[in-house]
Amino acid sequence: MSAEKDAEAAFVEEKRVEIASKEEESLAVPWKDCIKQFLACCIAHTLVIQPGINMAFSAVLLPQLKEENSNIVIDKVAASWIASIVTISTPLGSLCIGPLMDKFGRKRISILTTIPFLLSWGLHAFAFNVWCIYIARIIAGFGGGLTTVALVYVSEICHPKYRAMLLSLNSVFVTLGILITCVLGFWFDWRIMSKVFFCLALASAIGLCWIPESPYWLTVFRDDTLGSAISLKWLYSNKLIAENAYRGVLESRRLASPDSTDENSEKSKLLQIKQKLNIYKDPIVWKPLIILIVLFLFQQLSGAYVIIFYAVDIFREISGKSADKLDGFGALIILGGIRFVVAIISAVISRKLGRRVLMFICCIGMIFTSLGCGFYLYFKQNHGTMFNEEAIIMEPIQEKDNIAIVLVLGYVCFSSFGYLVIPWTLIGELLPVKVRGKLGGILVSVAYFLMFVVVKIFPFLLEIASLAHLFIIVGVINTVGLAFLYVYLPETLGKTFEEISKNFENGQ
């Protein structure tokens, strides 16, 4: 009897080692076996080019509308609405996208997301008064909120080895939209640009028709295991890797409904509602949700987006009355260029470094550059004068103005490694499949609401405190944020969704 037990134990151990070996082999997947997966992710990310265009388009549109030959006349109030209304309407799209993508699928909703952009740019191109522009900007903002589906889709089709890098492409494509807008703004009228952006949205819609549906959605929400297997076969050219990925998808379905019962049994509506609400009591749901909310709070309080929105004002505040000032397009292109280059670098190295390391690099760099800029500006304002030897005239030291500008650019550079990229991508990694659509939309709405509040109050903060004091305060906030990240942010590099969920389930 003992010999039989030993033999059985040896057999179980052999199978365990075999499964572990296969899992390890699946993580060692070469990039050649995932080429179509990379391509599908890039096509899905073309959706987020549009939010980048939304952010930068007002910087091109407003100066052209203020020209004497413009056939649409605007005042200061109209200009402020044109700039901000796109941010106000974005959370509306984010709130809608969760239920929509869960019900109709990631791919189908991705295609439908291009419709608001097509309508928006069509209205822009043929706008005959400012109200047409208002409506077009509202529709564009709503569409920007819908693009959350791209993050969810990419997170669900990526192999764990490449997921961090492919999710980071989200920021690359957003900054690409900003760069495209700024560059086109040098040469073209805003109506011509609108037609170009219409063509970009149309190209995205055509490309999205070609990619497969998310295997996780097919399995968890439609119980279509055959469709999931076909989707994985498309995504992976290696049969063994596709089979391992399929087992992971089936495990996600088990975690999504651990206490499944007979679907034909009669249940009261009240009991069904209670069961749905009980999902949010699960630690694998509420723990990552709280972490992400706090992370987005630190993201906005860091002022990284404020610098982008108010680049011209901040550079002019630093330069004072110096003749060497950066104009609006110059500031946007410099900042957009930094974001674009750093986002690419971040996407590449995230394969090796992981989320925690990149966030630590980001926070430490932001702490030093923000405190350095704050104390430098404070010293300059209070002690940065020198006596002229021939006459007692206090002259400001202008030759050191570039130090503060470099520190601000450095701040943007470091923020592009972490705060401007990773919180958005973590939505698709930390949240379990069963709530990723709904809670992902809610989180994006919260993030954009916080962004709107911080960006809106920044000019009033400048009236209360100097730029030097604000940078010092931001440095303190970033220090607290670093402590939070060190304690609570989990590493997701190379981990499957099931492993990430089990970490929260086990109280880690």
Write out the DSSP string of 418-480: TTTTHHHHHHHHHS-HHHHHHHHHHHHHHHHHHHHHHHHHHHHHHHHS-HHHHHHHHHHHHHH
> Mean pLDDT for each 10-residue chunk of the chain (508 residues)?
47 42 50 80 91 81 77 75 79 82 88 94 90 91 88 82 78 85 81 93 93 84 79 78 72 56 49 59 79 90 78 67 49 74 79 82 91 86 52 41 79 84 80 75 82 78 83 92 88 73 66
Report which of 310, 298, 286 is spatially closest to residue 422, judged by C-alpha positions. Answer: 298
29-211 shares its CATH topology with 279-388+396-508: yes
- By C-alpha distance, which of 474, 179, 173, 467 is closest to 338? 179
Domain extent listing, the chain: 29-211, 279-388+396-508
User: Which residues contact residue 417 at a Cβ distance below 8 angstroms, ignoring those fewer than 6 apart?
Assistant: 342, 345, 346, 358, 361, 362, 365
List, in order, residues 6 or more apart from 112 with CB less than 8 Å away.
104, 146
What is the DSSP annotation of 237-264? SSHHHHHHHHHHHHHHHHHHSTT---TT
The contacts of residue 282 (CB under 8 Å, 6+ apart) are 505
How long a stretch of residues is the chain? 508
| pLDDT value of residue 139 | 93
Judge if pTM exceeds 0.85.
Answer: no
CATH superfamily of 29-211: MFS general substrate transporter like domains (1.20.1250.20)
Tokens of 264: 């034909």
List the structure tokens of 70: 């413009």
| 3-state SS class at 159 | coil
pLDDT at 135: 92
DSSP 133: H
The CATH code of the domain at 279-388+396-508 is: 1.20.1250.20
The residue among 503, 504, 496 whose CA lies nearest residue 250 is 496
Predicted pLDDT at 273: 55
For 159, 168, 200, 284, 500, the CA distances from 55, given in Å and listed in that order, are 31, 19, 16, 34, 33
